[in-house]
Each structure stands twice: as C-alpha cells, then as structure tokens.
Amino acid sequence: MPISLQQNRKRLLAVASGGGHWIQLLRLLPAFVDCEVVFATVHKAYCADVHGYKFYSVPDATRRTKIRLIRAALKLFCIICKERPDVVISTGAAPGYIAIRIAKLIGAKTIWLDSIANAEQLSMSGTMAGRHTDLWLTQWADLARESGPHFRGAVL
C-alpha cells in the first residue's frame, strides 16, 4: 500500500541492512498495513522493492568501518528528525541498532526482530539493541528469555 495522506496513521520507520535482514523486513510489510511506512536500508537498488513508499539509503557500515558507521549514524539522525516516526522497527544489523538508539531520543517506540539466521545465539546488534527497545523479539523459541528477547513466531 503506497504512502497515505491520512493524518491518524502511525508513522513507522523500517530499517535494515542488506541481504536477509532486508528480506525479512519486507516479509513484515503486511503487518504495517495501518501505518505510513518509510524504509531505510543500505542499498539504493532496494528502492524498487518498496515502490510507492518513501525510501532512504544509508551508508553500509559495521563496527569495523568506523567512519562509515559515523556517516550512517548522521544520515539516520537526519532521517529520524525529518520523518518523526512513532515507531522504528529493525531486523538488523548496525543501521537498525543506530536507528533504534536515535529513535528513543525523540520518544518513538522501538521494535527489534533478531534475524532468523541467528539460531544458536542472538546477534551482537540484537543483544545490544534489546535493552533499548520497547519490544525485543527472537525468531527462535530456544533463544527466548523472560526478560527478552521474546518469541512470537518466525518470519519465513
């Protein structure tokens, strides 16, 4: 569903790095039907996957690429200040963690859904993001804990 002009819809910023993180985020799209969705990811070409939605690309970065990490954080800060999302959701990795930390500064609700690829242990980004989120989810029942992350199913 393309961008709506309805004023009462929640503004949702969906953030993910590339590959499987992006694919899992796209699989959540039906859950966002009542939201005005904005996407942010690391590959400009992914814009074609979300035609009709507002889209931003941010620098691809990891903890090993400090300068790009700073540039990604600055870009995400600008996006969040401009878009003013009510909710930020991420399936990982570094861009999602950064977005969640920044979103909390403006009072947005945050959701982290750890990657299905992390079957043995939580991702580093997910572990770091978890304590800063309003809803922290894992896709593996064995990784769920009472204090989080919680298991509510998998995005297949």
Rounded-to-integer distance, Cα 81 and Cα 125, Å: 22
Rounded-to-integer distance, Cα 10 and Cα 83, Å: 11
Q: 87-92 and 54-57 as β-strands: parallel, antiparallel, unpaired?
A: unpaired
Residue-wise pLDDT for 49-94, tens only, equals 999 999 999 999 988 999 999 999 999 999 999 999 999 999 999 9
The model carries a pTM of 0.91
Rounded-to-integer distance, Cα 144 and Cα 26, Å: 23
16, β-bridge pairs: 92
Q: What is residue 50's predicted lDDT score, i.e. its pLDDT?
A: 98
Residues belonging to the chain: 156
Instruction: State the average pLDDT over residues 129-145.
Output: 90
Average pLDDT, the chain: 91
CATH class entry, domain 10-151 = alpha beta
Rounded-to-integer distance, Cα 14 and Cα 16, Å: 7
